[in-house]
Chain A
């Protein structure tokens, strides 16, 4: 799945 809620990577 793709995430669109916030990006946890730098």
Chain B
């Protein structure tokens, strides 16, 4: 466990909490893509099946359970509790465009051809693209609430910190996981454009709106 990994996990957790607090306080999930949140719930579900098969550490188990619970509460808030505020019209990304290639790729390129390993691989590939419906929604409406941009910032920061973690682990432990690293790089690239807007607009007190 290194500092990048801990900070990465903390910003991941922080992102999910920010989103939940935003929805809970405003009693609205306007501007949030329900599809992205369903994908994240699917990511955690397929990745953390090893909760039943292998024990890694108390930290690992507790964080996995928290992530799963947060993801499902978020989906519940969007589709059940505050469904009237959900902007279904603009959340129009076609999920099959992500799910079909990701499923195919996880069968083709994995560490071993076993059900758990294929599901883990599926979750890694899916996570790298799961934010696309949310980014698509923002590009469609042309704006995002400031708190939503904080959520996205911490979600992107988490993946960027994991990249630092992998570089660290490669040098100190000679550990690397090619599937995770390649997907992590792809995932981080998706956030670059957003990071630029976040720094140039949101941090200067302006609302994120696209021209």
Residues of A within 8 A of B (CB): 1-4, 6-10
Which chain A positions have C-beta within 8 A of B12? 10
Which residues of B (164-196) have their CB < 8 Å from a CB of A? 165, 174-178, 180
B143 at the A/B interface (Cβ < 8 Å)?
A: no
Does the CB pair A10–B117 fall under 8 Å? no
B64 at the A/B interface (Cβ < 8 Å)?
A: yes
Which chain B positions have C-beta within 8 A of A9? 5, 162, 165, 177, 180
Q: Is the interface of A mostly helix, strand, loop or mixed?
A: loop
Q: Which residue of B lies closest to A5 (CB)?
A: B54
Does the CB pair B117–A8 fall under 8 Å? no
A6 to B111 Cα, complex, angstroms? 11
Does the CB pair A4–B111 fall under 8 Å? yes
A3 to B175 Cα, complex, angstroms? 8
Number of interface residues of B (CB under 8 A): 24
B60 at the A/B interface (Cβ < 8 Å)?
A: yes
Number of A-B contacts (CB under 8 A): 33
Residues of B within 8 A of A (CB): 5, 9, 12, 47, 50, 54, 56-57, 60, 63-64, 67, 111-112, 117, 120, 162, 165, 174-178, 180
Does the CB pair B177–A3 fall under 8 Å? yes
Does the CB pair A10–B111 fall under 8 Å? no
A10 to B177 Cα, complex, angstroms? 13
A1 to B178 Cα, complex, angstroms? 10
Which chain A positions have C-beta within 8 A of B174? 1
Does the CB pair A10–B67 fall under 8 Å? yes
Which chain A positions have C-beta within 8 A of B177? 2-3, 7, 9
Does the CB pair A2–B64 fall under 8 Å? no
Does the CB pair A2–B111 fall under 8 Å? yes
Q: B208 CB to closest chain A CB, in angstroms?
A: 28
